[in-house]
Structure 1
Amino acid sequence: MTRQIALLRGINLGNRNRMSMAQLRESLGQLGYEAIRTHLQSGNVVFTAGTTPDRAERDVAEHLAGELGVRVPVLVRTRDELAEIVARDPLREVVDDPARHLVTFLGEAPAPHRIDELNPAEFAPDRFRIVGREFYLWCPDGLRRTRLTNAFLEKHFDVTATGRNWNTVTRLLTLADES
């Protein structure tokens, strides 16, 4: 059994894909997951499961679609993967506000040639680094002003993407460690 973190993309944004966190916890419980905790209303779930993260991604997405009619991409990382994501933050030296620091979780590591096509100067003053399946982003002028959005990254890299600010990322790690 491993602690895992599910990141649902597009939950409770506007009038689409609405669900309470109680519904989400209950749904994951129906899958046999244990020690389920949610954070905020945006589809952040920490749980214990005896399945692989890849399997959990499929199971959660299929279950939510079948039981609640909510069709959203789901990305899962283990507690240890999330701890590594936090520990290896390549932008920690420049970040001075965790609310403007984002980690975008990618469904798979982008192709190297697609990474090379991103010219950092074109996105200044934003700064970014890609490490494995994570896109780290520092937006000194605020997240709302960046052009490096989920939609842009999904199109450019041809992967599923969902972002969380640094406060949320570290809180999810804390929740994973508490249970």
Structure 2
Amino acid sequence: MTTTYAVLLRGINVGGRKKLPMARLRTLMEGLGHTGVSTYLQSGQAAFTVDHGDEESLAAELAGAVEREFGFTVDVLVRDHAYLAAVVADCPFPAAELEARQLHVTYFSQPVDADRFAEIDRPAFLPEEFRLGDRALYLYAPDGLGRSRLAECLSRPRLGKGLVATTRNWNTVVKLAELTRTG
């Protein structure tokens, strides 16, 4: 049985570091036996279909291939359509009423316990807000991610080692669900 997935690569093509042209990513993924490979933007998203593996093994396989081909390590998350569609459907904020730059989702490699964020003084950051979902964190930042004080507070040092996290704006979140829809 074939399954359609999205792949999210963390931190590529940002600030001139870890350059990974999307055409070469597509070729690399096709070389791994993936079919129907398409990329979205230049920031490390692709959709593909495959008849073997699971999210974790596919992510590890692609991370290894990128390291061999490009000479750098990159964190990779792979998610299927059902998960991506649920992330869109479960958004706790009124996405249809917001600009894409105001709403972001951070995808995590594993579930994140709310205790990790318990010490954050949420009222101090209003109107910015965040909510946890299934291996995801939804962030409402009315002035955008670049100006968000809350985003900085939620950043990687708080997440600790061993947890992969990568953030996408709402347009990309919706597009990934669309790209992985079959039929």
Q: TM-score, normalising length from structure 2? A: 0.90
Match of 2:9 in 1: 8
Which deviations, in whole Å up to 9, do the C-alpha atoms of 1:117-168 show, x marking residues without a partner?
3332232221110012100011112211113447843221222211110001
1:11–1:18 CA contact under 8 A, matched in 2: yes
| Structure 2, gaps ≥5 residues long | none
Q: Indicate how the Cα distance of structure 1 residues 148 and 76 shifts in structure 2: closer, same or farther if over 3 A, else same.
A: farther
1:29 to 2:30 alignment: yes
Q: Tell me which moved more, 72-81 or 85-94.
A: 85-94
Q: 1:104 — aligned with what?
A: 106
Mapped partners of 1:69, 1:28: distance in 2: 16
Match for 2:102: what amino acid? R
Return the letter of the residue paired with 2:49: T
Match of 2:172 among 163, 168, 171: 168
Structure 2 match to 1:65:
67
Secondary structure in 2 aligned to 1:18? coil
Cα separation, 1, equivalents of 2:171 and 2:156: 23
Task: Check the 8 A contact 2:4/2:182 in 1, yes or no.
Answer: no
Rounded Cα–Cα distance in structure 2 between residues aligned with 1:122 and 1:74 = 33
Tell me the amino acid that sits aligned with residue 55 of structure 2.
P
Q: Distance in 2 between matches of 1:19 and 1:151?
A: 29
- The answer on whether the counterparts of 1:37 and 1:47 sit within 8 Å (CA) in structure 2 is yes
TM-score by length of 1: 0.92
1:76 is matched with which residue? 78
Root mean square deviation of aligned Cα = 1.9
Distance across 2 between alignment mates of 1:154 and 1:17: 19
Measure, in 1, the Cα distance between the counterparts of 2:35 and 2:150: 35
Unaligned runs of 5+ in 1: none
Identity %: 35
2:109 maps to 1:116: no
Instruction: Report how many aligned residue pairs link the two structures.
Output: 179
Larger deviation: 125-134 or 110-119?
110-119
SS of the residue 1:65 aligns to: helix
